[in-house]
Structure 1
Amino acid sequence: MRRMETLVRILALLQVLMGLAAQKKTVAVFTGTEGGSVEINCSYKDSYIYSKHYFCRDPCRYFDVLIETQKADIVVSKGRYSILNTVNAQRVSVTIKNLRLTDSGVYYCGVDKRGSDIFTKVQISVKKAQVNLSTTPQTTGSTETFSTTNELSTTAKPTWSSAHILMGLAVQTKTVPVFTGTEGGRVEIYCRYRDSYQYSKQYFCRAPCRYSDVLIETQKADIVVSKGRYSILNTVPTRSVSVTIKNLRLTDSGVYYCGVDQWGSDTLTEVQISVKKAQVNLSTTPQTTGSTDTFTTSKEFHTTTAKPTWSSAHKIHIEYESTSSQTPPSTSSAFHGSKAELAVFGVLFGVEDLQ
């Protein structure tokens, strides 16, 4: 009897352990790199193929929902997130682009149904992007070798030629186009793309090109879209996107990207904008043409002791000649007024005696 009781207890314990093992499911972990993208896949049962699916962050309250489906087999995009319910595979795929370190954490693929929703727990891990600053280009077919590292050390003097220098620079760096404008003016940026992207959504953003850094995006091909100081046009025949920025500011200088929105990782083309300060010329030198009479405006007004010559053709003709000693003729030919008026006029123009 005691042996039977012991056996029953062991069987009961095994059942409890099996139940715990069934309850504890493995949580899928999806890994990405900062600035890149990650794709999360969640499977569901046959009865949920036409249900609404959504993706949320833990604890998955109403305002934790990041994106949801609208119709089966149609991609829905919202900011950095996109979702697709693939009916044939009975799978929901969620893509997050421009990953941040703060995106790491617990998420859920949810199925909206009457009563309690069904959740599939997943985990996202975002790793910090690593930058390798060390490059070692070499020229083959020759004994001349050079290396570029953080420190420059040479044990032998290689023989350099213009061909070798250009080859080395081509390997080390990729040319980034620089578009220049003047403060208060405008600049137009051009970016080329491949044939397969001609009808994709194009956008223009400032580095580091997060969702909040997107300045403007296209809506339809060959149609200009304007937003504030920015305008964008996708010209399909030339496979190019042009972006215009008006009313330039000095703070507009920096690194930008022409982006192509596509499934998975977007394609980015780096460009640079340089805005120069507008130059203001405060010096003015007006002159009267068609005559030898010339005058210059400056911060100080200099008067001369020379007496002006009067004529009936023009009432006042001031010549700045220190050697002039002419005296004005009779005032009757030029002015018809009282002596008091003539005296005031003489004070204003530095004439000592008008009588």
Structure 2
Amino acid sequence: MKTLYLMLLFHASVQLQCDKKQINANVGGGITLVCSYDTKSFRYSKKYWCRGASRSTCEIVMDSDGLAKRQRFNIIDAGRRGLFVQITGLRLDDAGVYWVGIDKIYADIMTSVQLVVTEVPVSKPKLQPLSSLVDRPTCWGLPVTVRCTCTQGTSVHYSWYQHTLHQDILLQSTSDLRLHCSKMEKDSHYYCKASNDISSQKSDILSVQVLMPADSSCIYVINIQDLPVYDCVDRLSTSAATTLALTTCQATEKIQQSESRNQSLRINQTHQDVALIREWTGPPLWYMLLRWGSFAFLLTIVCSVNTYTRRKATCAKRRRRPPNIAPVILMS
């Protein structure tokens, strides 16, 4: 009986052979299995690909008739050129035992294949600005986005951290880091971490030097390894001159405002002094009485002198007048 079973297996292996018994592949990749079979006997028989530990209990994933077919699986019967089994977009749960089978009365012809799916370790991530630093956008306060990428690795997850003396702070779990004035108040250091289920790697340090902090139109410099550093000397001098001019204008304006305020105070004080003078500097009552009394005395003297002069003149006239002599009438 054992001999008969071995003979059947040998006969089946002659009728159906595949180029691999075990396939090692990575997550996200694909495989192509090439099998040859007896085209004279089974050219028009149904071929299938099933999954399971046992040939009697495996589940058919796809077949050459197209009755059982899945999106990532495909089987192509090319006749004399062979039977091709393809799987794309491999996942970890795709690993297991598979069977290539040919439909045959009483007993199908089958051969097993072991599929091993593993993840690819991540490589050291690299940092690349999405906008050119040659134009020095950081010198004019424009935002800059830095992307973290790996040349190798499957199912890679990216995270950005801020490096400090005490601890590293997780900023975000994305591949892109956006730098802008509103997020930076002082010099900072960042790095990206790439990881999957089997490995993790850190990028080089990204240094940001803040030359002039501001909510907008700030000045900062980005330093990434293997990339040139662009300074902001002309922008910094222009900003310094602008700041000095603004400071001078503000100081002049303050001085003018102060002088205007002082002048207003002096004018108001002068008005108040004039009002006080008008209110309190009038002649006192005794002076007014003395003044009017003197005037009345002088007027009385003048009137008396005038009266005396008139009387004296009248008396003088009377003395110069001759006496009245009564006329003598002569009687004849």
For normalisation by structure 1, the TM-score amounts to 0.34
Say which structure is richer in helix: 2
For normalisation by structure 2, the TM-score amounts to 0.36
The structure with more radius of gyration: 2
